[in-house]
Amino acid sequence: MTETYIARSSDVASRMLGGEMIIMSAADSTLFTLNQQATAIWNAADGVTPLSEIVESKICGAFEVDPAVAYQDAEELVRDLAGHGILLVSERPAEGREVTS
């Protein structure tokens, strides 16, 4: 199975508000709000942790959801955010990535 690695784009503005993440793309000023599960994935998107591990450690344990369903939802979210350029997706871990919160 090919692993997926995700990293937050450095082009976005982001802030937590009441447990949810607000993200605005600098490219087109599109504004997103992420729910708690999506926020957990966003926060863990360091470019070096596989998506499967993120889902297992940050979603399944914390939100008591079925792992297969959680992974499917996470893949859909990642595709959506990557489509807007606010999440970078790779099949390989990033090298020397600087992780910012």
Partner 1 sequence: MSLITELDSRAGKLGVPLSAHLDVTYRCNERCVHCYLPHDDRGEMTTAEIVDLLDQLADAGVFFLTISGGEPFLRRDLFEILAHARARTFNIKLKTNAILIREGEAESLRRFNLDSIQISIYSHRPEVHDAITKVKGSLERSIAAIRFLKSRGFKVTIANVIMRYNRHDYPGVQALAAELGAIFTIDPTITPHIEGDRGILALNVSRADLEEIFHTESLVGNLEEFCAPPVAVDDDVLDSVSCSAGHTLAYISPYGDVFPCVQFPLPSGNVRKQKFLDIWRDSPQLREVRSIHARDLEGCSECGHVGSCTRCPGLAYREGNMRGPSMADCEKSFARTGIPSRNMLRKAAFSVPLVQIEEWRSTASGAGLAEDDFGGGKDRENVLSC
Residues that bind partner 1 in the complex, under the rule CB under 8 A: 10-18, 22, 24, 26, 29, 31, 33, 100
Helix (H, G, I), strand (E, B) or coil at 89: strand
Which amino acid would we find at residue 1? M
Least distance in angstroms from the C-beta of 27 to partner 1: 9
When the beta carbons of 2 and 10 are compared against partner 1, the nearer one is 10
Least distance in angstroms from the C-beta of 14 to partner 1: 5
Four-point Cα dihedral 74, 77, 81, 83, nearest 10: 110
When the beta carbons of 30 and 90 are compared against partner 1, the nearer one is 30
Q: What token pair was written down for 64?
A: 């008591």
